[in-house]
Amino acid sequence: MSTRKTSLTDKQTKNGTSKYVLERCASVNEYYDIAFKVMLLGDSSVGKTCVLVRFKDGAFLGGNFIATVGIDFRNKVVDVDNLKVKLQIWDTAGQERFRSVTHAYYRDAQALLLLYDITSKPSFDNIRAWLTEIHEYAQKDVVIMLLGNKSDVAAERVVKKEDGEKLAKEYGVPFMETSAKTGLNVELAFLAIAKELKHRATQQPNDPKFQIHDYIESQKQKSGCCSLV
């Protein structure tokens, strides 16, 4: 039997006015073998909610920007090597004033997707500060992935792809450019995280280590190489 739960989420418009939106949260009691918590982090407006909605519902939330207030989550079950992996994905508010709320959730997360907006230099420059916060509040072995979002807006690009790659390399984390609008690399980012977490949880001592960088590269090649970042 399926259960449905609804929740009131306080959302805030760009001009600061607050409104409550009635949302469906965890909807169906879907079967799964193993579950992980994933958090989306990054400055306000980089596209965290849109990336999550793209992955969960295959849609793009265009139109007026409504900033997340506090924290919200959605579940999605994906197949990884014949196992049903449930990702409980926490969407955090990027605005500074909600940091203390989101810090409280860091410790529970097994993976963090850290986003910047390729059309916003400040959002990229702030990535180092985000990584400092992550090292302060998150689990030591948390899986981190860096995403340069809004790659569809080529005309307004101010952060080069190479700069994202360089920063990711410096911190030893995988990197991709994504677009919540076109869907580019969004599913791949979550699937790579799901695979890494599943391997870590089920790995036997003599099993070869899952190489997330190699996995991402092989998937990019499969889907036609050069259009993917």
Ligand X SMILES: Nc1nc2c(ncn2[C@@H]2O[C@H](COP(=O)(O)OP(=O)(O)OP(=O)(O)O)[C@@H](O)[C@H]2O)c(=O)[nH]1
What is the contact surface with ligand X in residues (CB under 6 A)? 44-50, 61-62, 65, 67-68, 93-95, 149-150, 152-153, 179-181
Going across the sheet that includes 66-68, the strands are 18-24, 6-13, 66-68
Closest to 47 measured CA to CA, from 128, 123, 132, 156: 123
Minimal distance in Å, beta carbon 79 to ligand X? 25
> Which of residues 56 and 200 has its CB atom nearest to ligand X in the complex?
56
> Which of residues 110 and 179 has its CB atom nearest to ligand X in the complex?
179
Minimal distance in Å, beta carbon 31 to ligand X? 29
The residue type found at 177 is: E
* Rounded CA separation 129/135 (Å): 10
Minimal distance in Å, beta carbon 151 to ligand X? 7
* Residue 83: C-alpha distances to residues 79, 192, 225 (Å): 6, 14, 27
Q: Where are the alpha helices (DSSP H) in 73-113?
A: 99-106
> Which of residues 68 and 110 has its CB atom nearest to ligand X in the complex?
68
Minimal distance in Å, beta carbon 59 to ligand X? 11
> Which of residues 32 and 137 has its CB atom nearest to ligand X in the complex?
137
Determine how β-strand 66-68 pairs with β-strand 6-13: antiparallel
